Amino acid sequence: MSDPLLRGSSATRGAARSFRNRVRYRFDRLLSRGMWAVLLWLGAITFLVVLLSALLLTISSVTFTGEGDSSFPEEFWQSLLRVIDPGTMAGDVGIGRRILALTVTMTGVLIAGTLIGLIAAGVEQRVEQLRRGRSIVVESGHYVVLGWSDRVRVVIDQLTKADHRAVVVVLADRDAPDMDDDLRPDLDPSLGQRLIFRSGDPRLRSSVALTNVEEARAVIVLAPEAGGEADVVTTVLTLGRAIGFDGAPIVVEVSSDRVTEKLLRVTGPSLHPVNVAESSSRSAALVLRQAGLSEVVEELIEPTTAGVHVAEVPRLVGSTFADAVFGFDSARPIGVIGPDGALRLNPPPATTISAGDQLVAIAGAASDLVPAPARAVPSRGEPIDLGIVPKPMRLLFVGWNRLAPALLAEFDRFAADGSTVLALVDDSVLALDDVHAPTTTHFDITIRKGSDPTEPLRDAEFSSIILLAYPDDVGADAADGRTLLDLALVKRELSAASSLDTQLLVQLLDADRATLADMVGLNGFIISDAVSSGLMAQFATSPQRQTVFRALYDPERASLHLLSSAVLGVDAPTAFVDVIAAAYEVGVLAIGLLTPPERGRRAVLSPELTTTVDQSDQVIVIG
């Protein structure tokens, strides 16, 4: 006696292999091959039906036309008409012809319905594919942003401000509609951003290929909020496999010098790393060197104002740098980059500009680097003593995070002996044991617990106050809320003590909250994602700018300074063109003006040559 389990198994196999199931299985496989396979089968079925109808009519000597003699091609055509248009059978007479015409027509209706359904499904699938961002981008000269973080909005905003015609393609491991919904409401619609979102893993070559990165103008790689270092390295190596390291410039957000050094050894000069902590600390350090430089730094980073531009100017080949200084109306030359990439800021006047040299200038746009009619070059005397003597600094840090050591290390490069730091840390948020101060040469660092930022201000005076956000696990909203509250208390205390000249550095995790800080009229600077994001956007549009910014931020090289017009020998209101000549005579380059607080305290880079310089204005120079 056979086993019932085996009998059941045999019965199951038989049912599975029945004609009905086999037909359904074949049909499912047909559908899985895509719409084109189904269309071909529908076409074949239509042809067979029309062919069978024509054969039956010819064999039975019955015609759809009603004529006595009709050929096979004519019957084939008449049958095809009834498949395509149901109204064609309205004139048919005779029961046989009507039954055949009805059969052919109903087959045509079923096929037409199936075809319409397939087309609708295909269109819907294509639209969904487009919405999900899985199609290839057909653009050239566009910017590609790989990765997703809180900085992506600021980067896109800066890119579109710098280049109104820019097309920005964002590839991230998120749904394209979600990215669009998250970004669009926070962007300035007046800029007319042309944004394209693609969904995929930037670490995979197949996903990167969707952005047409081979024809991109530049690529920006953003580090994710968590575990960013490994992801960034993998993405950069993927780009190397996709386009190599000798094509479009790659601007990469990095978090350590160790990773930067290794990546540069692998990729070469096409990689432009931006360390968020380093860029923020160097900007802050430049601001602390001299009161008023905060407005200058903000103006340089802001893409809608005059800034750094690098370009070859063939008409200057064979001329001297002195000729270039006085050879432009709307641009202020500050240096030369040679074919080897070496930058010379404020080079000697007799420096000859050769073929392949690029001029570095402060201008509103690259199109302003057009030589004007030559003007007389004044004689150059002894260089002026800029009077930049390091003084002991008294710094108050309120709060602590990983940016603090980078700031102190940068401040230590220009601080004088005897400088002090008091770090006030709320131990209910961050344990004092977790506060690790760096080793410095010029600072005596004291760490004290406390939550009231005004308490130290009642006991001592500070040259600068740095308000930092607490670590990331507190949350950006809570951290910024606390910082803004501390800032309000500090401003009130400084106002009561008439100490408004004290410099304020305020870190905000969300750049959109900068307006809430209300730094108008204060000697202050906001440290936020806007600093590093703005630099990334600037390097993407012109990679040579990175060399220029590094030099300007270096206290040991020609850098930014503020001088009174009297120091330059200009004692009465005069035109800016005369200030340029006076600055050149004493060995510095005048690039702009800083108006006093009573006139709004703002930096104006590369003003018109006819702009009147008042005695209360400070002149922005490079020397």
pLDDT at 594: 92
Left if phi > 0, otherwise alpha if psi is -120 to 50, otherwise beta: which for 292? left
Per DSSP bridges, beta strands 603-605 and 589-594 are antiparallel
- Please list, in sequence order, all residues whose beta carbon lies within 8 angstroms of the beta carbon of residue 422, skipping any fewer than 6 positions away: 395, 396, 397, 446, 448, 456, 460, 462
Nearest CA to 582 out of 604, 613, 603, 558 is that of: 613
pLDDT band at 73 (very low <50, low <70, confident <90, very high): confident
pLDDT at 191: 65
Q: Cα separations (Å) of 143 from 166, 220, 284?
A: 7, 8, 29
Q: Cα separations (Å) of 1 from 6, 9, 408?
A: 11, 15, 91
User: Picking from 74-83, 211-220, 523-532, which range would have the lowest pLDDT averaged per residue?
Assistant: 74-83
Nearest CA to 553 out of 531, 523, 520, 584 is that of: 531
Instruction: Report the DSSP beta bridge partners of residue 273.
Output: 252
In the structure encoding, which two tokens stand for residue 295, read together? 């407005």
Residue type at 302 in one-letter notation: E
pLDDT band at 2 (very low <50, low <70, confident <90, very high): very low
Per-residue b or e along 387-413, where b marks 16 or more CB atoms closer than 10 Å to that residue's CB: eeeeeebbbbbbbbbebbbbbbbbbbe
Nearest CA to 156 out of 198, 178, 190, 184 is that of: 184
Q: What is the DSSP letter of 320?
A: B
- Please list, in sequence order, all residues whose beta carbon lies within 8 angstroms of the beta carbon of residue 43, skipping any fewer than 6 positions away: none
Residue 300's φ and ψ, nearest 5 degrees, are: -70, -35
Q: Are 184 and 217 in contact (CB under 8 A)?
A: no
Per DSSP bridges, beta strands 618-622 and 560-564 are antiparallel
Nearest CA to 404 out of 451, 378, 443, 368 is that of: 443
pLDDT at 407: 92
Note the pLDDT tens digit of each residue in 199-226.
999 999 999 999 999 999 999 999 887 6
Domains (ranges, CATH) in the chain? 29-132 (1.10.287.70), 143-280 (3.40.50.720), 306-363 (3.30.70.1450), 394-527 (3.40.50.720), 559-623 (3.30.70)
Query: What is the rounded (10 degree) CA torsion for 196, 234, 341, 383?
Result: 90
Nearest CA to 166 out of 195, 190, 189, 145 is that of: 195
pLDDT at 190: 64
Q: What is the DSSP letter of 533?
A: H
Q: What is the DSSP string of 166-223?
A: -EEEEEESS-HHHHHHHHGGGS-GGG--EEEEEES-TTSHHHHGGGTGGG-SEEEEPP
Question: In 56-131, at which residue ranges do the beta strands (DSSP E only) sit?
Answer: none
Residue 446's φ and ψ, nearest 5 degrees, are: -125, 130
Q: Are 591 and 562 in contact (CB under 8 A)?
A: no
State the greatest distance between any 2 C-alpha atoms of the chain, in Å, as a whole number. Answer: 122
Note the pLDDT tens digit of each residue in 466-484.
999 987 667 788 889 999 9
Over range 470-499, report the average pLDDT: 84
Nearest CA to 340 out of 357, 364, 319 is that of: 357
pLDDT at 30: 64
pLDDT above 90 coverage of the chain, percent: 30
Residue type at 255 in one-letter notation: S
User: Picking from 245-249, 605-609, 615-619, which range would have the lowest pLDDT averaged per residue?
Assistant: 245-249
First to last CA, the chain: 106
Over range 408-434, report the average pLDDT: 91
pLDDT band at 12 (very low <50, low <70, confident <90, very high): very low
CA distance 622 to 595: 17
